[in-house]
Amino acid sequence: MIGLVLRRLLASIPTLLAVILLSFVLMRFAPGSPFDGERPLDPETRAALDAAYGLDQPIPVQLGRYLLHLAHGDFGPSLVYRDFTVTDLIHSGLPVSLTIGGLALISALGGGIMFGLMAVLRPDGPLDRGLMLSMTLLTALPTFVTGPVLALVFALWLGWLPVAGWAAGAPRYLVLPVLALALPSMGAVAKLTRAGLAQVMEQDHIRAARARGKTGWRLISHHALRPALLPVVSYAGPAAAGLLTGAVVIETVFALPGLGRYVVQGALNRDYPLVLGVVTLYAALIILFNLLADILYGWLDPRVRG
Amino acid sequence: MNRLRLALPAGLVGLVLLAAWLLPSLLPWDYRVIDWDHVSAPAATPGHVLGTDSVGRDLLSRTLVGTRITMMVAIAAAFVSLIIGVLWGAIAGWCGGKVDALMMRIVDALYALPFMFVVILLMVVFGRSILLVFIGIGAVEWLTMARVVRGQMLALRHRPFILAAEAAGAKAGFIVFRHALPNMAAVILAYLLLTVPQVVMVESFLSFLGLGVQEPMTSLGILVKEGADDMDVYPIALLVPGGVLVTLVVCLTVLGERLRDRWAA
Amino acid sequence: MTSVFRYHGLRVEIAGRAVVQSLDLAIAPGECVALVGESGSGKSQSWMAPFGLSPGIASGEAWLCGEALVGRDEADRSRLRARHVGFVFQQPLTSLSPHLTIAAHLEEAFTQAGGARPDRATLAAALSEVGIDQPQDRLRQFPHRLSGGQRQRVMIAMAIAHQPALLIADEPTTALDATLRREVMAMLTNLCRKRGMAMLLISHDLASVADAADRLIIMRQGEMVEQGPTRDVIAHPGSAYGRDLLAAAPRLDGPAPHRPAIGALLLEARDIAVSFPHPGWRRGRLQAVDQATLTVHEGEALAIVGGSGSGKSTLARAIARLGPCDAGEVSWRGLPLPPRDRIRPAERAGFQPVFQDPVASLDPRWRVADIIAEPARHLGSGVSQQHILAAMAECDLEPMLADRRPHELSGGQAQRVAIARALITDPAMLILDEATSALDVLVAGRVLDLLARLQRERQLALLMITHDLAVARRLCHRILVMDHGRIIEQGDTESLIRSPQTDITRQLVAASH
């Protein structure tokens, strides 16, 4: 098992390098410069700025330097937020994004598995059909519609919760963004749980367990649930990534000081180190989530352990 | 009952599309024209069934045109993803072995990219044109299609009738296009239908962030963004485009899933 | 004497259609009754429905240890199942929960009737009793580590762990290797005798249950057509169907069938070797076929016989250029045959395959006429409608089937279509890969008759892959026996069956009797 994890970690290094290389080259070949402001800079100032940030060097040298710094945990300076390094920005924004994304993932998995189980206990009954239709509706709700609509209803009209803001992570401020972010994934998890269980319940080992007198919840919990959750686990890795990146919109809607806001600002202003740093960080996080999902998969299904 | 389960979502989508294509030319106000006499007009103002936005443009007209543009981008991008995905998946699944391993490693690597950022990156690098919006989205959305087709191909490849076709002297191209792909056409079509709402979401998402379709053109994402900015005083500007968007995405998803479940069985 | 299990006028309906009608049955303690019939005869529904293990609805009377089964709710039925019955299913590979260890499975079985939680030694002893070696290690393992035979033994150990009064075994040996079937069946009967358990045995194969069962019930289309003590039924079947069923199964005894004359050398394969990468994460390669050499002459039928995993199909596919081939040469009519990716149409046309699963070997979206015409389209210059109809007629297919699609055909019809397709290019040799083993006994018998006629009329050479020596004997001049990728024995059919030289062959002979 440990060997497998190490192998997978090693195998992810080329992927990560490829991501960095691709983003780096793409950004450098893009027209425009971070120093294009309201009025054109005079050439001397421009050259001085380029030299200060190393932009006058050939691209391979820039890349090499960047990687060297990266290896020391240094993401470089931000070109737009002049007083901060990218590391500072990540330091301040990542906890916010991780809190929102992590809570959303937990609610999506918890709520989704619960609803999926509720639906499958009476297959094709009214509860099942009603739940599955609402879950389909949930999966189709774009966060940038649900976010404002939730804020409109619960904050502006009913006044139960604050409209926006962070307030150092006070729970009242977290409810709406987490909910808006979690709902689509919750629908997807519920549907996967339902479909996975329905499929497993048809299998031979379930019939054999029923023949031995196992019924109802004991049958599901003991013999069906673990194999049935395999599709949920496969989904959870990419879903975690989706929740992280999906937080970009939620952070905009609810004015949260997360990383997503910096990405959009950085992209619009050609802040190369900032965008590159965040893309690299997120790629690493996604690889990590997928690895965790694979480990969980191995626990659920001994066959893949070999 | 079963027919209704397909007809209802299909009918709703058809109705919205029909309205989006036919109605705007019949309305008194073009979606770009500013009505100086009615700025931020409420619904049921003469000439403006749903009222106007904060600069005096007709909301109904803008919603319909926005729907049209969103759907055009979505359909075009879905076809881009269809072509890349089917070819990629079919080649990987058919060749198997090292070719398959390499091609699927590439797909996995692309999956590992924070894909919203890839699209953002593309928009930034190549400028914000509507063509690029859908090429960019299509280029990202083909991954699922490639995986599905490749999985189907791997499963079909070892079915005896494919081997029988080889024994009958059929060439690889003939086997892939006449035996294998027709047998997964239903699944491909269902996933194509499921790609459309995905792309609708991505396009709206980008437009919402100001990275997609640009003014004076409009799309559902832009309209939701504008509506969200004024929602405290004028909620209908959020609810109408948001409602159309959700209806489209829900109906297309339901349609795709029901067809997939029916045909995959 | 009171019976453990009794039906009177049992009827089972699925979606309003009767699949079992007025079935009577009684099993005394220690007695073994076998229910025999083809697929669709209702033999499985007749036990699954009363126990609530299928969607079928049972009516009539069904009694288990003095309690009624019909009309009870799921809670009652599951209690009765758990307390009094042990079940063994056909699918040993999938009937164990993949995420639970063997020990967890056995523990559940020991406690299902309310028994105390067993200790490790009891569990290990239960495994030993069903012939599993190293039981202590096996207890810790997950099902996927065990072979099909071992898993079926675990299923049997679980079925008897709670000392049930009745054991129901539905095709318990069908999915197992031919060499294992006898042993597992003998073990089942011994366990029942020893413990005085009643047993209900369900099978499609009369021969496989003949030794085990005290009494036989033959079912057809949901109705009992014949019943009585096994010996009487086999010696003097009372019904026409029973006689057909007994006659259809190929046998090792009886007079040798007439086999057509043999011509010049047609195919020669030398030192064929095929290897595959190990499945999963293991390194290295698995040698599936090693240094196999064989010849086939015009009009000659050669059988390659072996258990599953012996490499017989891999060898045939390597020779037919339909699978990988790492080393060795194949010559066809004296000329070397190019490898798979360079073989020419004229060479392909000379030998055509027929596969095991008849429906799966036909493209589900094509019409029968197009399916049959396909080889001619690629390998020849096309084919006329008349030619297709002639090929269909030769394989006893009615012309009206030409416009059907594969799912509208029965198994026997589908296999005839596959044979007609193989014949359309007028080949000199057919490669039959378990071509009759997925078919019901009577249907398989008729397909074998068809093949014998084609062999005679067309001077057709056959390369026949099978696990069943009796099937091989029906058509083949010579037999090769394979094991672990090597040809371990070969010879003329009659003498090989009469005096087998290796253990594997002896097991195969024993399994076919």
pLDDT value for B265: 52
Look up the domain containing C188 and give its range.
5-248
| Res C257 pLDDT > 70 | yes
Chain A CA closest to residue C110: A212
**Helix or strand holding residue C289 (H, E):** strand C285-297
Q: Which is more confidently placed, B131 or C383?
A: C383
Does the distance separating the beta carbons of A263 and B117 come in below 8 Å?
yes
Q: What is the mean pLDDT of residues C245-254?
A: 79
Q: How confident is the model at residue C454 (pLDDT cuts 50, 70, 90)?
A: very high
Per-chain mean pLDDT for chain B: 80
List CB contacts (< 8 A) between A213 and chain C.
Answer: 78-79, 81-83, 112-113
Q: Are residues C160 and C27 in the same domain?
A: yes
| Res A115 pLDDT > 90 | yes
CB burial class (10 A; 0-12, 13-18, 19+) of residue A217? exposed
Asked if C246 contacts C234 with a C-beta cutoff of 8 angstroms, the reply is: yes
Q: What is the mean pLDDT of residues C89-95?
A: 85
Chain B contact partners (≥3 CB pairs within 8 A):
A, C
Q: Is residue A143 part of a domain?
A: yes
Contacts of C418-421 spanning 24+ positions with Cβ under 8 A: C418/B164, C418/C354, C418/C355, C418/C358, C418/C361, C418/C362, C419/C354, C419/C395, C419/C447, C419/C450, C419/C451, C419/C454, C420/C372, C420/C391, C420/C392, C420/C394, C420/C395, C421/B164, C421/B168, C421/C352, C421/C371, C421/C372, C421/C374, C421/C375
| Res A30 pLDDT > 80 | no
Residue C405: closest CA among C439, C369, C354: C369
How many Å is the maximal CA-CA distance in chain A? 85
Chain A CA closest to residue C105: A209
How far is the CA of A122 from the CAs of A125, A126, A188, A197, A216, in angstroms? 6, 8, 20, 12, 10
Answer whether B177 touches C (CB < 8 Å): no
pLDDT value for A156: 74
How far is the CA of C59 from the CAs of A240, A271, C14, C76, C201, in angstroms? 52, 77, 12, 16, 22
Q: How confident is the model at residue C279 (pLDDT cuts 50, 70, 90)?
A: low
- Examine the fold and report which residue of C248, C281, C308 is the final residue of a domain before the chain moves on: C248
Q: How confident is the model at residue B231 (pLDDT cuts 50, 70, 90)?
A: confident
Does the distance separating the beta carbons of B174 and C363 come in below 8 Å?
no
Residue A245: closest CA among A211, A195, A279, A194: A279
Q: Give the single-character DSSP code of A221.
A: I
Chain A stretch 159-178, residues whose beta carbon is closer than 8 A to a beta carbon of chain B? none
Q: What is the mean pLDDT of residues A190-214?
A: 88
Q: Is residue A53 part of a domain?
A: no
Q: How many angstroms separate the CA of residue B183 from the nearest CA in chain A?
A: 22
**Helix or strand holding residue C372 (H, E):** helix C368-379
| Res C273 pLDDT > 70 | yes
Q: What is the mean pLDDT of residues A229-233?
A: 86
Does the distance separating the beta carbons of B210 and A286 come in below 8 Å?
no
CA–CA gap between residue A22 and residue C275 (Å, rounded): 40
pLDDT value for C490: 92
| Res C303 pLDDT > 60 | yes
Best mutation site among B116, B194, B219, B246 for testing chain A: the one with the most A CBs within 10 Å? B116
Q: Is residue A62 part of a domain?
A: no
**Helix or strand holding residue B252 (H, E):** helix B236-264
Q: How confident is the model at residue C278 (pLDDT cuts 50, 70, 90)?
A: low
- For each of the domains in chain B, give its residue range(s) and CATH number, in order of start: 75-263 (1.10.3720.10)
Nearest Cβ partner for B245 among A145, A238, A244: A145
Q: Is residue C468 part of a domain?
A: no
For the four alpha carbons of C460, C464, C470 and C471, in that order, the dihedral sign comes to: negative
Q: Is residue C113 part of a domain?
A: yes
List CB contacts (< 8 A) between A282 and chain B.
Answer: 114, 117
| Res B88 pLDDT > 90 | yes
Chain B CA closest to residue A156: B232
Chain C CA closest to residue B180: C363
Q: Is residue A42 part of a domain?
A: no
Tell me the CATH number at C237.
Answer: 3.40.50.300
Task: State the ipTM, two decimals.
Answer: 0.77
Answer whether B182 touches C (CB < 8 Å): yes
**Residues C389-422 pLDDT 10s:** 999 999 999 999 999 999 888 889 999 999 999 9
Q: What is the mean pLDDT of residues C67-91?
A: 89
pLDDT value for A32: 62
| Res A51 pLDDT > 60 | yes
Asked if A136 contacts A187 with a C-beta cutoff of 8 angstroms, the reply is: yes
Q: Is residue A75 part of a domain?
A: no
| Res C215 pLDDT > 90 | yes
| Res B57 pLDDT > 80 | no
Q: Is residue A265 part of a domain?
A: no
Residue A266 neighbours by CB under 8 Å, 6+ apart: A78, A80, A274, A275, A278
**Helix or strand holding residue C494 (H, E):** helix C493-498
Does the distance separating the beta carbons of A208 and C96 come in below 8 Å?
yes
Asked if B216 contacts A136 with a C-beta cutoff of 8 angstroms, the reply is: no
Q: What is the mean pLDDT of residues B33-58?
A: 70
How far is the CA of C390 from the CAs of A21, C386, C451, in angstroms? 65, 6, 16
List CB contacts (< 8 A) between B159 and chain C.
Answer: 360
Q: Which is more confidently placed, C512 or A67?
A: A67
How many independent structural domains does chain C possess?
2
| Res B216 pLDDT > 80 | no
Q: Which of A175-179, B106-110, C373-377 has the lowest mean pLDDT?
A: B106-110
pLDDT value for B90: 92
CA–CA gap between residue C364 and residue C354 (Å, rounded): 16
Q: What is the mean pLDDT of residues C346-357?
A: 91
Residue C233: closest CA among C219, C224, C246, C247: C246
Q: Is residue C80 part of a domain?
A: yes
Answer whether A212 touches C (CB < 8 Å): yes
Amino acid identity of C258? H
Does the distance separating the beta carbons of B111 and A142 come in below 8 Å?
no
**In b/e form, how buried is each residue of C323-346, taking b as 16+ CB within 10 angstroms?**
bebeebebebeeeebeeeeebeee
Q: How confident is the model at residue B194 (pLDDT cuts 50, 70, 90)?
A: confident
Does the distance separating the beta carbons of C322 and B168 come in below 8 Å?
no
| Res C281 pLDDT > 60 | no
Nearest Cβ partner for C375 among B160, B161, B169: B169
Per-chain mean pLDDT for chain A: 81
Chain B stretch 145-174, residues whose beta carbon is closer than 8 A to a beta carbon of chain C? 159-161, 163-171, 174
Q: How confident is the model at residue C207 (pLDDT cuts 50, 70, 90)?
A: confident
pLDDT value for C283: 64
Asked if C176 contacts C90 with a C-beta cutoff of 8 angstroms, the reply is: no
CA–CA gap between residue C132 and residue C154 (Å, rounded): 8
Sheet of C351-354: strand order equals: C351-354, C429-433, C461-466, C301-305, C478-483, C486-492
Q: Are residues C241 and C369 in the same domain?
A: no
**Residues B153-179 pLDDT 10s:** 888 888 889 999 999 989 888 999 999
| Res C198 pLDDT > 90 | yes
**Residues C480-501 pLDDT 10s:** 999 989 999 999 999 999 999 9
| Residue A76 in tokens | 């470089």
- Examine the fold and report which residue of C191, C221, C248 is the final residue of a domain before the chain moves on: C248
Q: Give the single-character DSSP code of A85.
A: B
Q: Is residue C61 part of a domain?
A: yes
Q: Which is more confidently placed, A54 or C303?
A: C303
CA–CA gap between residue A94 and residue A96 (Å, rounded): 5
List CB contacts (< 8 A) between A286 and chain B.
Answer: 112-114
Q: Which of B206-220, C104-118, C139-153 has the lowest mean pLDDT?
A: B206-220
CB burial class (10 A; 0-12, 13-18, 19+) of residue A137? middle
Does the distance separating the beta carbons of B171 and C378 come in below 8 Å?
yes
Asked if A53 contacts A61 with a C-beta cutoff of 8 angstroms, the reply is: no
Instruction: For the beta carbon of residue C122, count every other beta carbon within 10 angstroms.
Output: 14
Q: Which is more confidently placed, B39 or A103?
A: A103
pLDDT value for B115: 65
Does the distance separating the beta carbons of B111 and A267 come in below 8 Å?
no
Does the distance separating the beta carbons of B168 and C353 come in below 8 Å?
no
Which residues are paired to C486 by β-bridges? Answer: C483
Q: How confident is the model at residue B264 (pLDDT cuts 50, 70, 90)?
A: low
Look up the domain containing A244 and give its range.
93-258
How many independent structural domains does chain A possess?
1
| Res B187 pLDDT > 90 | no
Q: What is the mean pLDDT of residues A154-164?
A: 78
Tell me the CATH number at A221.
Answer: 1.10.3720.10
Chain C stretch 233-252, residues whose beta carbon is closer than 8 A to a beta carbon of chain A? none
Tokens 């437009």 belong to residue: B207
Half-sphere exposure of C440 (CA within 13 A, CB side): 17
Per-chain mean pLDDT for chain C: 89
| Res C376 pLDDT > 80 | yes
- Name the packing angle between helices B130-157 and B59-95 (round to 10°): 40
Q: Are residues C368 and C231 in the same domain?
A: no
Asked if C154 contacts C146 with a C-beta cutoff of 8 angstroms, the reply is: yes
